[in-house]
Amino acid sequence: MSALRILVPVKRVIDYAVKPRVNKAQTGVETAGVKHSMNPFDELSIEEAVRIRERKSAPGGVEDICVVSAGPPKAQDVLRTAMAMGADRAVHVDVKDGEEGDLEPLAVAKLLRAAVAREGSNLVILGKQSIDDDAAQTGPMLAGLLGWGQATQASAVRFVDGGDAVEVTQEIDGGVATVRAKLPMVITTDLRLNEPRFATLPNIMKAKKKPLVKLSLSDLGVANERRLKVVKVTEPEPRQGGGKVEDVDGLVGKLKELGAL
Amino acid sequence: MFSAARRTALRGAGSLPRPSSVFSHSLGPSALRRLLSSLAVLEQRDGKLNHGSLSAITAAKKLGGTVHGFVAGGNVKPVAEEAAKVEGVEKIIAVDNAAYDKGLPENYAPLLVENIKKGGYTHILVGHTAFGKSLFPRVAALLDSQQISDITAIESENTFVRPIYAGNAIATVESSDPIKVITLRGTAFPAAEVAGGSAAVEDGVDPNVESPTEWVSEDLAKSDRPDLATAGKVVSGGRGLKSKEDFDKIMLPLADTLGAAVGASRAAVDSGYADNSLQVGQTGKVVAPQLYLAVGISGAIQHLAGMKDSKVIAAINKDPEAPIFQVADVGLVGDLFEKVPELTEKLKSA
């Protein structure tokens, strides 16, 4: 089999531990001064790509691991993190913050289709969803646009048949399922796939020297065309805690009173 | 808001779906309603209809307009006949071909696209399940439509409500796509009942596209307990259970006494106390039962995202400051190893 050229798309999102607040104008979530990080599922994607190389699990070897992110200049922070974890190089697609709004998954998928062509990728590993929009669309959309095989919510990736085929175990409702595909293909990662490494200080320093190419949407022939208009964003109905009871009898009594038993 | 009508009218005239003002002013609201048509995609496994997937029909009925159902797989007729009994459904499109049994998106997506084109649907809907999540974005890409994921409410034929940021914000979005591709949250749309209807069952078109991936095997967690996603009661255990043995010893008798499904936090799943498929939260299942009893779960925002729409939330935790108590209707501070068996005993004797 030919060597792997892996493309790993990553997204800069509000850190998973931060509780997001809706802005006053109800147009979105407050992002100024809020800690951002790499989308947790994307860390798993990079980790998996680096492990395939380190563990030599793909018989053809890994020729290239390229990370790509579309967003404001600060998206370069997550690209540097990805390179500190082991990616070889990065592509930053500059998308103005605020003015145009976030790219929708369909636009990202089209952008990635162009990136795949540009980088000659034969395996794309994405997170199963981003924790801001929670859409869970980009991976399958990209596979559809490329006409490639897809395996979503991967919890294990194995190269079989001397590297001619990839077997992916997927988390499905009620258990797991395994599918087999020939490259090229698109895989999306689930939490159980691996445990991402921390970027060490020496690697963070080295990552600063790795190549990072800046592109615009037009370089990739993609427009930020929005199909969904955000009418408003609101806080969810607040839920009031009902207080505590002293003992098990109190618990049973209260549950009966609430009609839950 | 006239785009859906335009598209359908234009398709009827055999031309491309380009926006035009010709039809938009001549159509009253009743004409619009007539032109709106939805396709609800239903899941089946081993020749059995997945009743949870009938929530797509509930959502389609809320849109108004005609409602058709879609099902594909080997020997699919009995499944189609059953789905045809759902009230308000005009037609069930069935494609009998074992190639679709496992719902592989690579051949299922082109299959759907062909049937959507043939039927001229303005809306296609499916549950936001593992099946829907891997299939529908592929369909959306083939239709060049921006999918609307995991909706919890329908405001109009083009305006939908969906949670973002793990349910910490609720977005209302308006779609300008001629075909709305929608996945929906099952707990927000109860499954339609299989009664009172007599839809026609019709063969769909089958483009027979070959899939570059093949299904190899599956391993499903066996359980006699109610299905987590649709159970009326859920008891859920977290890191506080300490081991798989304790999880099974403490949680299972409680679940069986209540007739409840068993859930777990990510911490419990990652520690191996419970199977992955039992995880409740942003990255697991979203549940909204009558009663959600959280045992030894602190209540991280990712977990709350999966259960905070439950009708009644109860919590047992030894930490009085645990965030779960901020959302629980009733909380008990105490050692779960002592309190839960006592609770199980009292429920049994009650």
Q: What is the DSSP letter of B192?
A: P
Count chain A–chain B contacts defined by CB atoms under 8 A: 258
Q: Please choose, from the candidates B155, B162, B157, B153, the residue with its C-alpha nearest in 3D space to the C-alpha of residue B1.
A: B157
- Listed in order, the ranges of chain B carrying CATH 3.40.50.620 are 33-203
Q: How confident is the model at residue A162 (pLDDT cuts 50, 70, 90)?
A: confident
- Listed in order, the ranges of chain B carrying CATH 3.40.50.1220 are 233-349
Peptide bond just before A184 cis, omega within 30 deg: yes
- Name every chain B residue with its beta carbon within 8 A of the beta carbon of A167: 216
Cα torsion through B100, B103, B108, B111, rounded to 10: 50
Contact B255, B235 (CB under 8 A): yes
Q: Where are the alpha helices (DSSP H) in chain B?
A: 3-12, 29-35, 55-63, 77-83, 105-119, 130-143, 244-258, 266-270, 301-304, 324-327, 336-349
Q: Please choose, from the candidates A10, A40, A42, A9, the residue with its C-alpha nearest in 3D space to the C-alpha of residue A114.
A: A9
Give one word for A237, left, alpha or beta, with left for phi > 0 and alpha for psi -120 to 50.
beta
- Name every chain A residue with its beta carbon within 8 A of the beta carbon of B148: 228
Tell me which of A44, A106, A182 to substitute to probe the interface with B (most B C-beta atoms closer than 10 Å): A106
Which residue of chain A is at minimal alpha-carbon distance from B164?
A: A133
Residue % of chain A over a pLDDT of 90: 89
Q: How far is CA A73 from the centre of its chain?
A: 18
pLDDT in tens, A25-79: 999 999 999 999 999 999 999 999 999 999 999 999 999 999 999 999 999 999 9
> For chain A, what is the domain count?
1
Window 170-189 of A: residues touching B by CB (8 A cutoff) are 170-182, 185
Q: Please choose, from the candidates B176, B32, B120, the residue with its C-alpha nearest in 3D space to the C-alpha of residue B23.
A: B32
Q: Do B212 and A250 touch (CB under 8 A)?
A: no
What average pLDDT does this structure show over A148-154?
A: 98
Quote the pTM value: 0.91
- Range B233-349 classified under CATH 3.40.50.1220: yes
Q: How confident is the model at residue A101 (pLDDT cuts 50, 70, 90)?
A: low
Predicted local confidence at residue B14, as pLDDT: 40
pLDDT in tens, A70-95: 999 999 999 999 999 999 999 999 99
CA of A161 vs chain B CAs: smallest distance (Å):
14
What average pLDDT does this structure show over A204-215?
A: 98
- Residue A238 confidence (pLDDT) above 90: no
Q: Which residues of B participate in the annotated binding site for FAD?
A: 239, 265-266, 279-283, 296-303, 317
CA of A205 vs chain B CAs: smallest distance (Å):
32
Q: Retrieve residue A118's tokens.
A: 């540009």
- Name every chain B residue with its beta carbon within 8 A of the beta carbon of A148: 212
Predicted local confidence at residue A100, as pLDDT: 54
Q: Please choose, from the candidates A108, A75, A104, the residue with its C-alpha nearest in 3D space to the C-alpha of residue A91.
A: A75
By Cβ distance, the residue of A143, A173, A233 closest to B130 is A173
Predicted local confidence at residue A125, as pLDDT: 98
Range of the domain at A193: 4-258
Q: How confident is the model at residue A2 (pLDDT cuts 50, 70, 90)?
A: confident
Kindly provide the ipTM of the predicted complex, given to two decimals: 0.96
- Residue A152 confidence (pLDDT) above 50: yes
Fold topology of B33-203: Rossmann fold (3.40.50)
Contact A236, B168 (CB under 8 A): yes
Beta strand spans in A10-128 (E): 12-14, 36-38, 62-71, 89-94, 123-127
Regions in chain B scoring below 50 on pLDDT: 1-28, 33
Q: Is B254 on the interface with A (CB under 8 A)?
A: no
Spatial separation of the C-alpha atoms in residues A94 and B196, rounded to whole Å: 55
CATH number at residue A64: 3.40.50.620
